[in-house]
Structure 1
Amino acid sequence: MRHNDSYYQQNSEKPQTDKQEKGDGIVDKIQQLGQTNIPQMEASNIHVLTIIGQIEGHMQLPPQNKTTKYEHVIPQLVAAEQNPKIEGLLLILNTVGGDVEAGLALAEMVASMSKPTVTLVLGGGHSIGVPIAVAGTYSYIAESATMTIHPVRLTGLVIGVPQSFEYLDKMQDRVINFVTQHSNISEEGFKELMLSKGNLTRDIGTNVIGIDAVHEGIINEVGGLGQAIKKLNDLIEEGKSHQKDVIQ
């Protein structure tokens, strides 16, 4: 009887241990990469990707900063693109901006995906977060969310080098071209917001809030999580219908 009791005890504990290890693995994945799938982590056809805090590029930021590391995001985008079980991408942003080149690289990758993508700005989509916010197939912004549009900046130590002015100007043109190509705002309108004086305290640039971002033509629609997921599912179904029509 003791042997049987020991057997049942060991076997009853094993599933709990496996389940616990699996749960710990999921928690580690969320903490390290800030991503998961919805509504069930393995079964969903939608991949969720978050751009949170400051976008970290070639320079590592202090550990107390909340960051999104672009070297973590890139393989997730590649995996979502090549995984046949993933049919759409939901990209949620609450970012203050960050590394310009890294932000543009992420925006270019999102824009080049063959699968439908919907972006949702919650809280803020500032600075280089603007190109990422417009990179999807369709974009939403929460009513209370803000977007800061300002010129590309470098530190005074770098600006002292003459060549950096040319670099700065070309980098700014890349941002302007990307945003205007992937949204409904004109180049003149975006430059006006970017170079507006007096809108930001002792600075140059513009803050747009919720519906203003839609009126300016930067974002498609004001909405939240429910609208974003519904739109993404609609885009997925439209893609399937188009494929059926092509086959027929």
Structure 2
Amino acid sequence: MEQQDPSGDRRFANQAVDTIQQLGQTMTPSVDSNIFCMTIIGQVEGHLVLPPQNKTTKYEHIIPQLVAAEQNPKIEGMIIVLNTVGGDVEAGLAIAEMISSMTKPTVTLVLGGGHSIGVPIAVAGNKSFIAETATMTIHPIRLNGLVIGVPQTFEYLDKMQERVTRFVTSHSNITETMFRELMFKTGELTRDIGTTVIGVDAVKYGLIDAVGGIGQVLQELKGLIEERKQTVPGGYRQ
């Protein structure tokens, strides 16, 4: 009579429970792929640790993944999926700069929302997509908590705002005039200034390249990968 290893069964059961708890499903697809998918969800966490009940993306976790994907010869392209409310400005800009400086093709997809500092991340790839029902909120940089009312404080905010504006306009087709107009528009947001744009409008303003979903994103990324292989020896952007 064949004997079973109870410890092996327990390990399998524990793995299944962990998968259900972490991913909400009993099995995860195992596919060797040349495409790396990264998600930017919840609130972008920077120098301050947010409360545990907040869904966050920690920039100190994202940056090593970007470095690893850039160095891994098996990875030929990247998809960055966003559903974020924004967060720390410097952390968001750091992630956006890392994505924009990668030599491998990158395509971004805004699902649900790409608000606030999520906007620079959304435009950082070689090509950007947005779901038809997704939204993006463009507004001036704010400081939470106590603000010291001295000229240097406002100069600092202005310089930081200029950094965001310069990055967005240089990595998308929106003009600086239009971006600032959307940013300081009144009446769009309750008790505040700024603009929320939806799918088609984001494309109309030149903020995002096209409306689409995961199918269009994969098709575009595969095309960029093939183009890279044909135009640059060894497949590396020069």
| TM norm. shorter chain > 0.5 | yes
In the alignment, is the contact (CA less than 8 A) between 1:159 and 1:165 conserved in 2?
no
Write the letter of the residue equivalent to 1:146: T
Counterpart among 40, 65, 80 of residue 30 in structure 2: 40
Shift, 1:52, TM fit: 0.4
**Match of 2:176?**
187
- Find runs of 4+ consecutive structure 1 residues off by over 3 angstroms: 13-28, 38-41
> Structure 2-normalised TM-score?
0.89
Counterpart among 162, 175, 178 of residue 151 in structure 2: 162
**Match of 1:152?**
141
2:40 maps to 1:54: no
Write the letter of the residue equivalent to 1:137: N
Write the letter of the residue equivalent to 2:193: I
| Structure 1 stretches lacking a partner, 5+ long | 32-37
Shift, 1:15, TM fit: 6.7
Distance in 2 (alpha carbons) for counterparts of 1:180 and 1:49: 23
Q: Deviations over 1:8-52 (max 9, x none)?
A: x34xx6776676677778789x77xxxxxx9635x1101000000
**Match of 1:108?**
97
Write the letter of the residue equivalent to 1:119: T
Write the letter of the residue equivalent to 2:128: S
In the alignment, is the contact (CA less than 8 A) between 1:194 and 1:205 conserved in 2?
yes
Distance in 1 (alpha carbons) for counterparts of 2:234 and 2:92: 37
Shift, 1:84, TM fit: 0.3
Q: Deviations over 1:101-127 (max 9, x none)?
A: 000000000000000000000000000
**Match of 1:80?**
69
**Structure of higher CA gyration radius:** 1
Distance in 2 (alpha carbons) for counterparts of 1:135 and 1:17: 45
| Structure 2 stretches lacking a partner, 5+ long | none
Write the letter of the residue equivalent to 1:69: K
SS in structure 1 at match of 2:63: helix
**Match of 1:134?**
123
SS in structure 1 at match of 2:232: helix
CA distance 1:159–1:129, change in 2 (3 Å):
farther
User: How do residues 61-76 of structure 1 correspond to structure 2 at under 5 angstroms?
Assistant: 61-76=50-65
Percent sequence identity over aligned pairs: 65
Aligned length: 232
> Higher helix proportion, which one?
1
